[in-house]
Amino acid sequence: MNILRMIWKNLRHGYQTLLFPSRPKVTSRFRGLVQFNPEYCTGCAVCKMRCTSRAIEFKPGKGEFTWSYNPGQCTFCGRCVEGCSEHALKAGHPEHALSQEEACPPIYLTPGELSLSYTLARKPPVRKPVAAPAPKPAAAEPQPAAASASSAQAPNPINGGAQ
């Protein structure tokens, strides 16, 4: 009987707890889904090597490569984005291919619903122009008159340097 009274009391008074908001508030440096910009991707695969959760897959091919991202496996650590930006700076590129959203990921009901996959053509490496070596200065040719004048002033080893 006590259980029926408890159920009736709960039904009559309504919710006794706070309802969870549809979207929780996030802090200012929240790291969300990884965003990929294929325009800036060089195909270096640093992001795949840095991804500890194996959410990023990189499959090389002849003249092209496939980049895939599965947010269901992602831990949103940001290591892939850091690696991409470091590699881009070392290569002299101002932009890098990966970034992260500052919002919560959307709710999805089927596995792989948010997965992304791109097949891109490989870009040839950008080579810095090699500077041509500076021309060597022309060596001064010895003048015959100066050579005879310098030999006249040299000490004579036979007579002890006396002339």
Closest alpha carbon to 67 in 50, 42, 91: 42
Backbone angles phi and psi of 4, in degrees to 5: -65, -40
pTM recorded for the entire structure: 0.60
Domain containing residue 115: 33-121
In a domain, 95, yes or no: yes
Structure-token match 């831990």, residue found:
75
Backbone angles phi and psi of 107, in degrees to 5: -80, 135
In a domain, 51, yes or no: yes
In a domain, 127, yes or no: no
d(CA 101, CA 148) in angstroms, rounded, equals 83
In a domain, 96, yes or no: yes
In a domain, 60, yes or no: yes
In a domain, 137, yes or no: no
Q: Which amino acid is at 127?
A: R
d(CA 33, CA 66) in angstroms, rounded, equals 19
In a domain, 132, yes or no: no
User: Domain tally for the chain?
Assistant: 1
Q: Tell me, what CATH number does 42's domain have?
A: 3.30.70.3270
pLDDT tens digits, the chain, 163 residues: what are they? 688 888 888 888 876 676 666 666 777 778 889 999 999 998 899 999 999 999 999 999 888 999 999 998 999 999 999 999 999 898 888 889 999 988 878 888 888 888 999 999 887 766 666 666 666 766 656 665 555 545 555 555 565 555 5
d(CA 78, CA 29) in angstroms, rounded, equals 11
In a domain, 78, yes or no: yes
